[in-house]
Structure 1
Amino acid sequence: MRNELYDSEVIPHRAQVYGKVFSRHPALDLPAKIALAFEEFLSEKKISVLPGDVLAGYAYKYSWDLTDPHKTPDSYNAAEVPPYDPFCIDDEVERIKAYLGGDEHHPAVKKLRFFQKGVHSWLFKHNSGGHIIPGQQRILTSGLKALQDEAKTELGREHTDSEKSYISAMLRCAEAFSNYILRYSEEAENSARSIEDPSEKKQLLKISTACKHISKNPPQSFFEAVQLVWLVHEVLITDMPVNCVISVGRLDLYLDSFYQADLAAGHITGDEAQEIIDALWLKFAANEMCYQNVTIGGTTVSGELISNPITLMCLRATERLRCDQPLLALRYAPDMPEELWEESLNVLRSGTGFPSFFHDAACIAVKERQGLSHEDAVNFAVMGCVELTGCGNDFSNTESMRINIPLLLEFMLNRGVQRLTGEVFPLHNSHDLDSLESFDEFYAWFKRELRAYINLGLESADLIESFWGRLYPAPFLSFTMKGCVQKGRDVADGGPIYNNSVLNGGGFASTADSLAAIKKLVFDEKIMTLSELAVALDQDYKGYEHLLRLISACPKYGNDDDAVDRFVRDIVDIFIDEAEGRKNSRGGTYGIGLYTVQDHAKMGYLTGALPDGRLAGTALSNGFASVQGKDISGPTALINSAVKAEISGAGNGMVLDLKFSPQFLQNPSNAKATRHLINSYFARGGIEIQINVVNSETLLAAKREPEKYKNLVVRVSGFSAYFCSLLPATQDEIIARTEHGNF
């Protein structure tokens, strides 16, 4: 059943509906238009409940489309992999320009034009919208009607006209969603009429009854709770802006009370509950590579460790089904019960890269550091890949800005010109390369350029954020979030309780290894000058094979070598210094992210040769790990390198990847050693660690004959995906990672 049911027409159909509604109501404000269009679309959207369905809900393939405007090409096919470069920046700049009167010379527009060029050149990566954990728990606890009644009450309170209009838009969307759930109730009942098999008829009627109840009321059973979770999720990903990354939050915390009540009343067995969780996993799995994270484990506000039957069911569903979705994040605590450890290791052995491990205490501390209350920090969950956010109360716009750190070295060594595009990016401090007399002088220059471009990127991204909620409102998502109805404001316009922003980086190890090579070869040993190195980079090392041999002997991050690890530590310090405490336009502050998703490959496409020996167009280093294959001293050395930096300040999350051979974890002593490694890493301040259990031979075979490996799931960078769906550069990068077979 995996990936077989999806609606390939949903995105184009949605575009048509929104276009018709917008043209019929030109005088309405944008939120009102979107609410009417949302209502009409949900009333028309194709739905289906078939015999054998455990849950209602019709999934569709992930799209990069915008909620408004809908620029779906005529050739769009939702079954295909999304396009490589979904640059929403172009539409954003044009809309902001129009909002500001169409003046190309407006200072804001001029700033955004430069940022736009940086995004297209992969100096910056930028996405807005989505990347959030909605208020699933609020809806499960209160029910839709009670939350709708809250909105109606709010309309009677003192608000501006625009705030009341937005509350009305949120309310219309919520009521449309209730009616959409009722459509499933009717569809299941109609389907049951034509079914003779008693068990299938019973299941369809169960779906019908459940949907009718949860269309207004809080769930009264485990089945109803899971059904509501999925339908909320389905509709949000149907009608969210570009890159509609939506995660679920702490599923085992949300569902356990429903399960325990049903179990005590004799209404459910463990096997029946597992089947429902498996069915939910299959719903997620129809939407490939879309970063739907489920968080399990961790502690409660009272300090109780969560390790309940739902926790284990989520792990077992992941192990048995072996899909790329949902992503599964485990909030680690040193006193986790043995059963939870064993189930986690079993899933790791399956080779899907799940679960990723997050240090509960460190994550709570960094979210408090970013301004969340203790209660809300304790209830953090993992959004998308590794982003740490509050649940139903926090819009941190977690992919708003990422900077390609090693590309700044390219600018410095090539007069501000990007080698592979010819684009010019002016240096803030120009120097004649051979006038620099010491590495300290060169390094100080690099740090100045890094700070300057970080500030330029953050100012530009924040400028876009200041307009996003007005230009791309999301009233249904806003309805689910705590604070939006009370304020009458959009989720991206300061509506939630927390409204933070982010600074992410890419190529940490690539930069550190490059700096180490420059220090050793140019300044310490004086084998060449900076200008001579620049010529070698221009030639992509063709004819400079001797130089590559010298570079290979330079210090490499990931081997517990202070000579190079200090550069990563310094860069993280700069990130924290530039971000922490900085205010954004929505009243929040900044956090930093030390992860790259697939962006290390994408940034690498347009980055020329680097001083660390990396060739032009190849992937940069992944997340916070070493350059691929350069951590030759074992996983403990890599961890020792990582914890020298202040990774405990990574409020937007981090990624530390390890790759083990499949045979390695089959050995009980190695599995025990892996636990000790994870315990040691977290005890020393680590935030996140993930383990790929796959051998390079399998990956190479999958590249040669992808048709034989369609279901091969691997860990990428904070997320897992079907290997054959990845960009070729990403595939090569994963193959090149060090494969550990011992400690």
Structure 2
Amino acid sequence: MVQVSPRIEKLIEHLYASDPRVEAERAVLITESYQQTESQPIIIRRAKALQHILENMKIVIRPDELIVGNLTTTPRGTQIFPEFSNRWLEDEFDRIEKRTGDVFLIDQSTKEALSETFKYWKGKTTNELATELMAPETIKAMDAGVFTVGNYFFNGVGHISVDYKKVLKIGLKGIKEEARIALDGLDLGDPNAIEKSHFLEAVIISADAVITYGKRLAQKAVEEAVVATDTNRKEELNTLAQLLKRVPENPAESFYEALQSFWIIQAVIQIESNGHSISPMRFDQYVYPFYKKDVEGGLLSEDKAQELLDCLWVKFNDVNKIRDEASTKAFGGYPMFQNLIVGGQDKRGLDATNLLSYACLEASAHTKLPQPSISIRVWNRTPDSLLHKAGEVSRLGLGMPAYYSDEVIIPSLENRGICLEDARDYGIIGCVEPQVGGKTEGWHDAAFFNIPKVLEITLNNGYVDGKVIGLHTGTVESFATFEQLESAFKEQMTYFVNLLVNADNAVDVAHGTRTPLPFLSSMVENCIDKGKSLQEGGAKYNFTGPQGVGIANTGDALLAIKKLVFDQKELSLVELKQALDTNFGRGSLTPTSAPEPVQESNSLDLTKLSSEKLVELLQGLLANDSSNSAVATKPTTTANVTKDGEYIRSLLLNGAPKFGNDIDEIDYLVREVALVYCEEVQKYKNPRGGTFQPGLYPVSANVSLGLNTKASADGRYEGEPLADGVSPTSGRDVSGPTAVLNSVAKLDHHIASNGTLLNQKFHPSAISGEQGLRNLGSLVRGYFDQKGMHVQFNVISREILLDAQKNPEKYKNLVVRVAGYSAHFVSLDKSIQEDIISRTEQNF
């Protein structure tokens, strides 16, 4: 086994020496450029803005680095991208350093510089245009918590993997030449010739800008070599300078050049747009020829190659971004979702595992950092040795790698119109989203759709907090059968998915209009040929992928209602709704959802009520608080209501099976809930000429969406997190890990082609020793044999997590799986920490 170089620990220590800092440099530079190019086409303005940034930003080579290219002056700092949104940041200036998660430092001079630049952008951001394009009822649904499009509403799109292989093969000089040939060959009679020429010119400007950035890094390496006192460091810097004079302008010729060229591309994509999930994907495939030539050919030692790879792994963690405070509760832990996947099949259907696949897993084991988010593709010919290596990394407790099934993902992509050869070459973007690298604009994470909220709205006849948000599909008194309630729920789902599509398409158009990305587009197939940016539909494959959240809660709730209300008649829908409105007697955090019906008279004739209704009314009056009394100082709740609410909750929890225990009745109802969402989403098209495809994963939005959702009929209290992805609700899966996998495998993962997410948490003892590794491998293979799509593991004890909450200073390096990504536990908002702690701890 290759040992960890002492250099790696030094790099990590330097990277995490302090909290990340907000910087104003990019915001100032892009504003300067935009002010100078106001009369020019937007795609040209974007290219010239990137050029201005890369020619003027401060160049930094951090101590001991072998892979260089900075996005910010300070380690893990964040630049600001005012062209997407900025008002929220100015509103939060004084709270950024006081957050409970994702803390950033910001000094007064930075605040002042940013405030000054923001004046220029008023009325010019993608956020403002997207809002203007949305229907009023769409905005009402978003405000009510039915769905959120926060990722792209405030930020760049990201969620892309470019053709890194092409850059390594022909260099940016080759891409420039392609654009030049296309520009010279334009048919001037083409009605789109003007727009195409602008795009191609922008590609050339952008490529030149990145070449200049590489040469500025080379010059910085020369300058540092001159003053270096350590002989070894002087030699390292001189070697770097020679590399950077060649790449990324020219094709890479060595493993070291390939890594350095790759990193500059990775960094500049982030500088051009602050979208996250810029994913290397099948890194072990397109970099392997250089590894094979140098390492297997004896030109580079295995130890040195691993050190270079480990240095790159540390560098991934230098990328950061600031999100609004609300989003930190959905994407906590400074995540950047740079997904790198190993193994799987090649385009011909043969196993693609190679020595670099193992070296990549080893790099994650050496660095023990959240980035890159490493994954593994598994099929029936995956070598046991690769699965064994993956298991060794899993039990380090990093929550990585995530495991993906070729047997499900390849046909699911084919079903979306992707050819077999491309489908076999898929990787993972961000959390769990399958995509063909270098050919796709996937718009993954386009929204998070709160399915339990739709059931809540159904039970309230379209109301949320007294306001009409949905359709009037019937009061609870009007539902005589479960089928009527189910039909109303599906009708509301159809309505809200339509609004979700309106929101996504509005944001899509806004990005295409105001923030096209010429450099990013130049490295995706078909854009140069079409003369179109990604944002205008230039990619070979175009999708929009919104996620459904809370299928387990919704299925568990519907079955509880069916059994307890309609089959066994243990309670009425009216009684259930009252319990939900009062948060099972605890008192609702928000007003009741539906307004009281208007009475023609202020008086009520008690003589017209039956004795049963009279008793019910009097009990209700006794249960109500005395807030209308002139002498009341605070609401009161009687013991009787608390008991009744908790009794009803107990019925809901214990009176019907719960998803995750391998019980067909509930498992297939959850499957049906998921299909209601997925089948509706896939009906729609996007403005880029592509289609919508559904996913079933929340990142960690199940926590924030839960905060905005009232008590639900699965027994969940108001404000508690929703179920995580396709995982069972925490604590309800009581029959062991295999039962969970059996339940989740019954879902139709093929239709959820934008990805499904299954989290499992194991006590470390469960996979200790060789037998533990074999058990884990068998569990993965068994689940994938049943057509599950994805699974990932947190291997850590509850006791450690609780201690980390109490003593964060002892656990600064503790990395855990949050959702489709890993993060340092102590950097997470407490609500996300609690969600991780509450997950069922499995054992064999």
TM-score using structure 1 length: 0.93
Name the structure 2 match of 1:186: 219
Name the structure 2 match of 1:160: 193
Within the candidate set 716, 724, 727, 2:829 is matched to 727
Quote the offset at 1:359 in angstroms.
0.6
Q: Residues 47-70 of structure 1: CA distance to partner in whole angstroms, max 9, x if unpaired?
A: 222452111122543759546256
Deviates more, 1:396-405 or 1:125-134: 125-134
Quote the offset at 1:413 in angstroms.
2.1
Deviates more, 1:250-259 or 1:576-585: 576-585
Name the structure 1 match of 2:414: 368
Report the secondary structure of 1:183's partner residue: helix
Look up the equivalent residue of 1:317 and give its one-letter code. A
Name the structure 2 match of 1:671: 773
Could you tell me how far apart the structure 1 residues matched to 2:455 and 2:63 are? 59
Quote the offset at 1:410 in angstroms.
1.2
Look up the equivalent residue of 1:470 and give its one-letter code. T
Could you tell me how far apart the structure 1 residues matched to 2:685 and 2:35 are? 38
Indicate whether 1:285 and 2:332 are aligned.
Answer: no
Aligned length: 724
Indicate whether 1:338 and 2:384 are aligned.
Answer: yes
Indicate whether 1:32 and 2:65 are aligned.
Answer: no
Tell whether the 8 Å contact from 1:15 to 1:70 is kept in structure 2 after alignment.
Answer: no
Give unmatched runs, 5+ long, in structure 2: 1-10, 105-121, 320-333, 586-641
Q: Residues 264-305 of structure 1: CA distance to partner in whole angstroms, max 9, x if unpaired?
A: 543201111110110001001223411111111111112221
Report the secondary structure of 1:663's partner residue: helix
Indicate whether 1:404 and 2:443 are aligned.
Answer: no
Report the secondary structure of 2:823's partner residue: strand
Q: Residues 710-740 of structure 1: CA distance to partner in whole angstroms, max 9, x if unpaired?
A: 2111112111111122232221111111101
Q: Residues 97-119 of structure 1: CA distance to partner in whole angstroms, max 9, x if unpaired?
A: 77xxxxxxxxx54x1x3323333
Indicate whether 1:506 and 2:549 are aligned.
Answer: yes
Could you tell me how far apart the structure 1 residues matched to 2:528 and 2:139 are? 33
Report the secondary structure of 2:764's partner residue: coil
Report the secondary structure of 1:132's partner residue: coil
Tell whether the 8 Å contact from 2:102 to 2:827 is kept in structure 1 after alignment.
Answer: no
Could you tell me how far apart the structure 2 residues matched to 1:645 and 1:733 are? 23
Name the structure 1 match of 2:145: 122
Name the structure 2 match of 1:139: 167
Indicate whether 1:207 and 2:250 are aligned.
Answer: no
**Residue 627 to residue 63, structure 1, CA distance change in 2 (3 Å):** farther
Deviates more, 1:718-727 or 1:653-662: 718-727
Could you tell me how far apart the structure 1 residues matched to 2:821 and 2:735 are? 25
Q: Residues 495-553 of structure 1: CA distance to partner in whole angstroms, max 9, x if unpaired?
A: 11111112320001011111111112211221221121111111111211112222221
Tell whether the 8 Å contact from 2:20 to 2:103 is kept in structure 1 after alignment.
Answer: no
**Residue 5 to residue 503, structure 1, CA distance change in 2 (3 Å):** closer
**Residue 666 to residue 654, structure 1, CA distance change in 2 (3 Å):** same
Indicate whether 1:577 and 2:600 are aligned.
Answer: no
Deviates more, 1:732-741 or 1:45-54: 45-54
Within the candidate set 475, 479, 486, 1:436 is matched to 479
Name the structure 2 match of 1:324: 370
Indicate whether 1:2 and 2:34 are aligned.
Answer: no
Give me the identity figure in percent. 32
Quote the offset at 1:71 in angstroms.
2.4
Quote the offset at 1:563 in angstroms.
2.1
Name the structure 1 match of 2:573: 530
Could you tell me how far apart the structure 2 residues matched to 1:89 and 1:584 are? 25
Name the structure 1 match of 2:717: 615
Quote the offset at 1:339 in angstroms.
2.3
Tell whether the 8 Å contact from 1:5 to 1:58 is kept in structure 2 after alignment.
Answer: no
Quote the offset at 1:333 in angstroms.
1.9
Could you tell me how far apart the structure 1 residues matched to 2:398 and 2:687 are? 39
Indicate whether 1:57 and 2:85 are aligned.
Answer: no
Look up the equivalent residue of 2:86 and give its one-letter code. K
Within the candidate set 107, 128, 133, 1:94 is matched to 128
Tell whether the 8 Å contact from 2:376 to 2:403 is kept in structure 1 after alignment.
Answer: yes
Name the structure 2 match of 1:262: 294
Name the structure 2 match of 1:493: 536
Could you tell me how far apart the structure 1 residues matched to 2:455 and 2:494 are? 13
Tell whether the 8 Å contact from 1:11 to 1:78 is kept in structure 2 after alignment.
Answer: no
Name the structure 1 match of 2:749: 647
Could you tell me how far apart the structure 2 residues matched to 1:67 and 1:267 are? 47
Report the secondary structure of 1:615's partner residue: coil
Look up the equivalent residue of 2:669 and give its one-letter code. F
Give unmatched runs, 5+ long, in structure 1: 99-107
Tell whether the 8 Å contact from 2:27 to 2:81 is kept in structure 1 after alignment.
Answer: no
Quote the offset at 1:93 in angstroms.
5.9
Report the secondary structure of 1:351's partner residue: helix
Indicate whether 1:700 and 2:802 are aligned.
Answer: yes
Look up the equivalent residue of 1:488 and give its one-letter code. G
Tell whether the 8 Å contact from 1:502 to 1:590 is kept in structure 2 after alignment.
Answer: yes
Could you tell me how far apart the structure 1 residues matched to 2:267 and 2:411 are? 32
Look up the equivalent residue of 1:548 and give its one-letter code. R
**Residue 567 to residue 444, structure 1, CA distance change in 2 (3 Å):** same
Could you tell me how far apart the structure 1 residues matched to 2:673 and 2:77 are? 35
Quote the offset at 1:672 in angstroms.
1.7
Deviates more, 1:293-302 or 1:722-731: 722-731
Report the secondary structure of 2:463's partner residue: coil
Tell whether the 8 Å contact from 2:171 to 2:251 is kept in structure 1 after alignment.
Answer: yes
Look up the equivalent residue of 2:137 and give its one-letter code. F
TM-score using structure 2 length: 0.82
**Residue 264 to residue 708, structure 1, CA distance change in 2 (3 Å):** closer
Within the candidate set 66, 71, 88, 2:86 is matched to 71
Quote the offset at 1:206 in angstroms.
1.2
Could you tell me how far apart the structure 2 residues matched to 1:62 and 1:319 are? 25
**Residue 63 to residue 269, structure 1, CA distance change in 2 (3 Å):** same
Deviates more, 1:344-353 or 1:527-536: 527-536
Tell whether the 8 Å contact from 1:370 to 1:590 is kept in structure 2 after alignment.
Answer: no
Could you tell me how far apart the structure 2 residues matched to 1:330 and 1:67 are? 36
Could you tell me how far apart the structure 1 residues matched to 2:776 and 2:103 are? 38
Bigger Rg over Cα: 2
Could you tell me how far apart the structure 2 residues matched to 1:697 and 1:290 are? 28
Quote the offset at 1:5 in angstroms.
4.4
Deviates more, 1:717-726 or 1:56-65: 56-65
Deviates more, 1:316-325 or 1:150-159: 150-159
Q: Residues 650-705 of structure 1: CA distance to partner in whole angstroms, max 9, x if unpaired?
A: 21111111111011110433332222121111111111111110111111111122
**Residue 295 to residue 437, structure 1, CA distance change in 2 (3 Å):** same
Look up the equivalent residue of 1:71 and give its one-letter code. N
Tell whether the 8 Å contact from 1:418 to 1:607 is kept in structure 2 after alignment.
Answer: no
The 5 Å alignment of 1:513-524 reads 513-524=556-567
Q: Residues 341-390 of structure 1: CA distance to partner in whole angstroms, max 9, x if unpaired?
A: 22111101100111000012321111111111222111111000011111
Report the secondary structure of 2:337's partner residue: coil
Quote the offset at 1:139 in angstroms.
0.8
**Residue 271 to residue 351, structure 1, CA distance change in 2 (3 Å):** same
Quote the offset at 1:83 in angstroms.
8.4
Report the secondary structure of 2:793's partner residue: strand
Could you tell me how far apart the structure 1 residues matched to 2:702 and 2:124 are? 22
